Structure 1
Amino acid sequence: MSAPLPSRIYPVVDSAQWVARLGQAGARLIQLRLKDRTADALRHEIREGIRHARAHGVTLVLNDYWQAAIEEGMDYIHLGQEDLDTADLSAIRAAGIRLGVSTHDEHELERALSVAPDYVALGPVWPTTLKKMPWAPQGTARLTVWKQRIGAIPLVAIGGVTLARAPLCLAAGADCVSAVSDFIRMPDPEAQVRAWLAATVGSATV
């Protein structure tokens, strides 16, 4: 039986400083997605992210780097479909780390479910400008279908999600809503966290 996620909002950030800033503002589930760093810089950011997460009561998710997640004692690891090809899932489980998996179509959902994830992410729900996506926008109706398929496993909506759209995702069946730009690229990210928290109170279907 999958445990519920600790929050309905799930900012994705690109440096440890954001864990401190958004955690202090009230975010309780944050993904640290680090790109283009040396091994030493990467490890430093992960350790700083963990330090800030513990200081602010944040459940921290590390994207991709499963070996570092094991070595540093992360709460969660988030893997894309390509990461499932190489990650040692047995070692991740043995370390007590929970697992989130990205999905974009039926085949990927089946593959994700085969590894018994602790949450499933579906995206992009709407068009996203953050990175080029080979998949068409899924729409909120697909969230409803995915939730019916996965049952008690938490469902995360990501991709083009904004403050205004977040409640729509929850109403459609998502347990949690995630974004990058709508948090860290806002003029006042801390206020944005508080606005998201207010907008998603009582909106979840589960």
Structure 2
Amino acid sequence: MKLDPFYLIVDSCAWIERLVPLGVKLVQLRIKDKDEFSLRQQICSSMAICERHGCQLIVNDYWRIAIEEGCDFVHLGQEDLARADVKAIRRAGIRLGLSTHDDTELKTALAAEPDYVALGPIYPTTLKAMKWAPQGLDRIAVWKQRVGDLPLVAIGGLTIERANSVFAQGAESAAVVTDIVRNARPEVRVLKWLAATAQWR
């Protein structure tokens, strides 16, 4: 499979409604600390928006809801993966992306036969406290060699200015959070990302 080089990550359907119509083709909905009713509402509304605009929606973490609501892609962190029923996810025809931060996690991820692997943080990130030091660009090339034909997603501290270096090392997709959602003009920034990554499509 092929991932779009611009991989937007947001925490609400409101962001998806705001940014996906600009031409975003790959977005992850990563919601924390919501009740199940709100989660389902956000996921279903996001699915409808993405379907209208030809955008691939990836649901973070909530694999049971993803199965029940007919989603086609989920992303799991290592802790989520340890608790998840991967066979049930596969039976539902759902594709799977997995986070990795070190060699052990990569082995665990590859054993689950994911549809893509994410590596991070590439650069320092202010989004959340991380126990891992920044991976750096060279680690992307190492990971790409290990994952082979699987798409590799780079995440953590990515900006437009850093994107080409990430792709040059072997990443197929750049996952972006704060460079968009904490930007004073997120719509403008999204359009710049889409233009900057067009050559890698």
TM-score, with length taken from structure 1:
0.95
Runs of 4+ in structure 1 off by over 4 angstroms are none
Consecutive unaligned residues of structure 1, counting only runs of 5 or more, are none
Are 1:52 and 2:60 an aligned pair? Answer: no
Residue 164 of structure 2 aligns with an amino acid whose one-letter code is P
Match of 1:195 in 2: 192
Quick check: 1:25–1:191 contact (8 Å CA) kept in 2?
no
Match of 1:163 among 160, 165, 171: 160
Structure 1 CA distance for aligned equivalents of residues 45 and 98 of structure 2:
24
Match of 2:2 among 1, 4, 7: 4
Q: Identity of aligned pairs, percent? A: 53
Structure 1 CA distance for aligned equivalents of residues 71 and 137 of structure 2:
31
Match of 2:137 among 132, 136, 140: 140
Matches within 5 A, 1:20-169: 20-169=17-166
Structure 2 CA distance for aligned equivalents of residues 121 and 127 of structure 1:
16
Consecutive unaligned residues of structure 2, counting only runs of 5 or more, are none
Superposition RMSD in Å: 1.0
TM-score, with length taken from structure 2:
0.97
Residue 19 of structure 1 aligns with an amino acid whose one-letter code is I
Moved more, 184-193 or 39-48: 184-193
Alpha-carbon offset, residue 22 of structure 1: 1.7
- 1:146-180 CA distance string (max 9 Å, x none): 01111110000001111111111111110000011
Alpha-carbon offset, residue 75 of structure 1: 2.1
- 1:53-101 CA distance string (max 9 Å, x none): 1111110000000000101111210000011111010110011110000
User: Which has more helix, going by share of residues?
Assistant: 2
Are 1:18 and 2:15 an aligned pair? Answer: yes
